[in-house]
Structures are given as C-alpha cells and as structure tokens.
Amino acid sequence: MNSFITLILTAVSYICFLFAFTNRVHMFQLNAYKYVFMRDWIKNNLAVNFAKAILPMLSAVICFIFGGGWLALLSLIPNIAFLLLHLPKKAKKPLVFTARVKRLYITATILFIFLGVLSFISASHGIYLLICQLMLIFPSYSVIVVNLANRPAENAVRRKYINEAKRKIASLPNLIVIGITGSYGKTGTKYILNTLLSEKYNTLMTPASYNTTMGVVKVIRENLTAAHDIFICEMGARSRGEIKEICDIVKPKYGIITSIGPCHLETFGSIENIIKTKFELYDALPEDGIIFLNADNEYLASKTELTKKAVYYGIQNKEKADYTADILSLSENGTSFSVCYGGQSLKLSTKLLGAHNILNVTGCVAVSKALGVSDDSLILGARRIEGAPHRLSLIKGQGFVIIDDSFNSNPGGARAALEVLNGFEGRKIIITPGMIELGEKQDEYNRKFGEEAAQICDYIFLIGEKQTRAIKQGVLSAGFDQNKLMIFENVITAIETAKTLPGSSRNVILIENDLPDNF
C-alpha cells in the first residue's frame, strides 16, 4: 500500500515540477539564456517565489511525518494549490519549444528520476517524497543546474551551427554584408535600408529582432542563398564581445552605427563600455570597408582615430555630416524632406512618422548611394517603406488613433515618440510602464520622461504602481493635474479606458513600451 501512495504522490510532484519548471524555462528564455539576467530575475521576484515555495515546503513536512501512509495524501492539497499558481498564463511572448528547451526538459526529467530512484532505494518513503518536494521549492535553481549540466552539449551544438553559418558565408564570395548596430534605431534602420536596397538588389535581412549570435546564425543557415546579393544583419548586444562574435561569423564590409545611448546600462555598466561594444562593428570591417555614423549623436560625432573610411549623416550637425536632411513637412500622414550630399539634393517622401525616422532614412540613403542605387529608385523606395512593427505603427479606429511604440523604450526613443504624439490633432494620452535596463540611472531617466510627458499629454496612464513611481514623481513635479494621472495593472484595460474617454472627438493614444513577461 505504501508503494502505491508513494507512486501517486511522485506523479503529482512531477506534474507540479513540470509546470513550475516550464514557468522558469520561459523566464530563462526571455532572459536570453543568460545566467546573469536569470540571477537578477530571481532576485527581483524573490518574495513572490518564496511565498509560492511555502506550499511544497508544507507538502514536504507532511510527507516526512507520515511517510508512505495514507495520511501522506494530505500533501496533495498544497501541491494542487502550487500547481494552480503555476498554470500557464497568456504571455506577450510565449515560450518557444526550441531544441534547446526540449533538451532542458529531458535533462530535468532524468535528474528528477535519478534523485527519486536514489532516495527510494536508500531511504524511507518519507525521505524519498521529501526529495521530490524539495525540487518544487527551488524550480529557478533547477533550471540553472540543468542548464549547467547541458552546457557541454549546448556548446557543441552552438559550435556546430556557427561553423555551418561561417562555411555558408565563405561559400558566397560576392555577398555584400552590412552590419547595423546602435543603442536604438537599428531595427527601424534595417527595415528602411532593406526597402531602399531591394530596388536594385536581392536582399535578405535578419527578421524582426533577430540580432543575437544564434538568431543571426539561424537566419544564415535557413534563409541565406546564393541568389542573395546583400545580407543586412542587425547586431544587438548586452555585453562586451557580442557584436564581435557576430562579425566574426558574417564578415561585414559596411557598417551603420545608429546611436550611442544609455540602453542596457544595467549590464554594460557604463557609456564607455557601450561605445567600445558598438565599435566592435567598425573594428571588424576590412580596410576598404565603410562605416556610416550618425553625426547628430554626440558620442559618434566626437569619435576620433578612425582610420577606415567614415561617412556621417545628420539633420542637426550639418558641419560634420556628409549627408544632411532638410525637413519640409512633418505630419501624422508621414514626412517630406530633402537629402543633400555632394552638392546634390534629393526630395523624398515617406509614410514614416517623426524627425528621427528622417535621420534614419538619410543614413540609409548614404549606404544606398555607396552601393550605386539611383535617385529614382530611392524616391520610389522611400514611398514604399513600411515601419517596423510596434515602432510608431498607427492603428486607427472610430474616434481614436493608437500610436503603437510598444516594442521597447529608451530615453531617446521615448522623447522622439512624444514629439510624434505632439504632432497629432486631438486629445493626447500616453500609456506606459516606463523604461527598464537603465541601471542606477533608471529612476532619473524615468523621472525626466515623466516631466516631458507632462508638457505634451492631456492624460497619462501608467502601468504598474511600483514600476512607474519615478515617472509619477516627474509628472507631478511638472504641475500635471493629478486627476488626469491614472495607474492601471495592465495595458489592455488602459487602452480600453483611453479609447472611450469622453469629451473629445478624437483620442490620440501613444503606447510607449510594453514590458516583457519577465518584468
């Protein structure tokens, strides 16, 4: 009879473990499979996870006291409660069951069985069930332990895929590779450049935000063919050496650095480290390569000791820039501007919103001219440009328009989004959880953001009371009407409230950032 009860409790424990483990694997995936980011997530969620851990602790005590007896079934009650707390919820970015994730599950199951068998043959039923419950108490650390166990296999798989990508790049000697990096603006710039260059070339760009080493490798292995003339590669980084690693694979001849700013300061530690990391792209270029730099960015404009050819583009810093832009019109229907270079002027129109996008287009025109794209092709291409998803995308409805800038946020991007909002006719509402990953200066930047929003917005809707305290301080310090400052628990409720606010024929709603599930 004891063995039967033990089997039931083991099965329930394993099911509970799988649900808790799935939750932690999802967080691990959202944290880019990086131990340092997962460690921070565990630290930030310590209280909540400890409260949940009380349930398997209670089950463990019951199992230890009653062993394999019938009364041990009482441990099912806290186990079921624990299971209900870990049922999957609708996620903004669901867990992707990649081969790596599947390997984590296999190893975790083997570990669970191994510990169970070991304790079962060497101890009492109570000790065995206690071991099963202990694995439920620490699911976050189970993921870390399992990942460490898998590291040799993961490294081998990683090397295999990287070497395959390198061989494919080497087999395409005529392929032109363009690397794009920057603290912000790189994804939007990538979409613009791909559209302009596709007027003359067969291009491939890394889709969406595929900007990590293995994301780039996946695109090369699965999508790059001999038919492609140009490969546009977005390069993201959270720490030193990551852009160099991508460059070692793709071998770029041209590079664009869109910006330097306080993005991912929490992991970089300093602006100096960000500059060095972004310039890993420049370092990787061949001697006949060209780097394209944003002259309006103070860190890029002041960069010295460049021995390779550098082409600057800008709107404000025209003395430094080789390609400049004069804004002709800015509206909610798009932008019109002229790009000037080498004594010539090219008038362009695009559906993209905001002056910052004029800057991005100007940089892409510079690259396109270096690659021989004609003026007529650039005029047509500019009209065809579609913005990157969730980056100042427009959603129009009856009595409202939504400016969707929810992909992410940083000080420069948030300021640009507010400028776009200010150009719209109607009652202006911002919905935001604020900015993240800005290290020790995060509160400072969010307070400033609140002050700037207060100057433009009629209503301010904040998502999450704890997360947005600094923004609230900035908003109220600017003299904003407290009755028009509201805090919501989720974005959906805030949007529905904003769309139906009475007293205006048109509500213009800016969604500035939407935090991922691991925040």
- Write the CATH number for 268: 3.40.1190.10
Query: Same domain for 218 and 331?
Result: yes
430 forms beta bridges with 460, 510
Collapsed DSSP state (helix, strand, coil) of residue 181? strand
Is the distance from CB of 454 to CB of 388 less than 8 angstroms?
no
Please check whether residue 517 lies inside any domain of the structure: no
Domain stop point among 384, 419, 445: 384
Query: Same domain for 176 and 82?
Result: no
Q: Is the pLDDT of residue 278 over 90?
A: yes
Query: Same domain for 128 and 213?
Result: no
CA end-to-end span of the chain: 46
Query: Same domain for 335 and 433?
Result: no
Q: Which of 411, 36, 446 lies closest to 260, judged by CA? A: 411
Question: What does the mean pLDDT of the chain come to?
Answer: 88
Amino acid at 23: N
Please check whether residue 164 lies inside any domain of the structure: no
Query: Same domain for 378 and 435?
Result: no
Is the distance from CB of 216 to CB of 164 less than 8 angstroms?
no
Please check whether residue 159 lies inside any domain of the structure: no
Domain stop point among 384, 411, 428: 384
pLDDT tens digit string along 223-232?
999 999 999 9
Q: What value does the CA radius of gyration of the chain take, rounded to a whole number of Å?
A: 27
Torsions phi, psi for 91 (to 5 deg): -110, 150
CATH number at residue 468: 3.90.190.20
The fraction of the chain above a pLDDT of 90, given in percent, is 51
The fraction of the chain above a pLDDT of 70, given in percent, is 94
Please check whether residue 166 lies inside any domain of the structure: no
Q: Which of 392, 395, 385, 437 lies closest to 415, judged by CA? A: 392
- How far is 279 from 258, CA to CA, in rounded Å? 11
Domain stop point among 337, 353, 384: 384
pLDDT at residue 474, rounded to an integer = 94
In this predicted structure, which of 105-109, 116-120, 214-218 has the lowest mean pLDDT?
116-120
pLDDT at residue 402, rounded to an integer = 92
Query: Same domain for 268 and 369?
Result: yes
pLDDT at residue 1, rounded to an integer = 45
Query: Same domain for 288 and 426?
Result: no
Q: Is the pLDDT of residue 396 over 90?
A: no
pLDDT tens digit string along 242-273?
999 999 999 999 999 999 987 766 677 788 89
Judge residue 2's burial from the number of C-beta atoms within 10 Å of its C-beta, 0-12 exposed, 13-18 middle, 19 or more buried.
middle
Please check whether residue 29 lies inside any domain of the structure: yes
Query: Same domain for 176 and 298?
Result: yes
Q: Are strands 400-405 and 393-397 parallel, antiparallel or unpaired?
A: antiparallel
Please check whether residue 375 lies inside any domain of the structure: yes
pLDDT at residue 196, rounded to an integer = 97
CA 94, 263, 326, 365 torsion: positive or negative? negative
* Domain enclosing residue 267, as ranges: 172-384
- How far is 507 from 426, CA to CA, in rounded Å? 6
pLDDT tens digit string along 193-206?
999 999 999 999 99
Confidence of residue 67 (pLDDT cuts 50, 70, 90): low
Query: Same domain for 371 and 452?
Result: no
**pTM recorded for the entire structure:** 0.82
Query: Same domain for 427 and 280?
Result: no
Please check whether residue 161 lies inside any domain of the structure: no
Q: Is the pLDDT of residue 121 over 70?
A: no
pLDDT at residue 291, rounded to an integer = 97
Query: Same domain for 327 and 408?
Result: no
Please check whether residue 281 lies inside any domain of the structure: yes
Specify the number of domains making up the chain. 3
Query: Same domain for 204 and 351?
Result: yes
428 forms beta bridges with 508
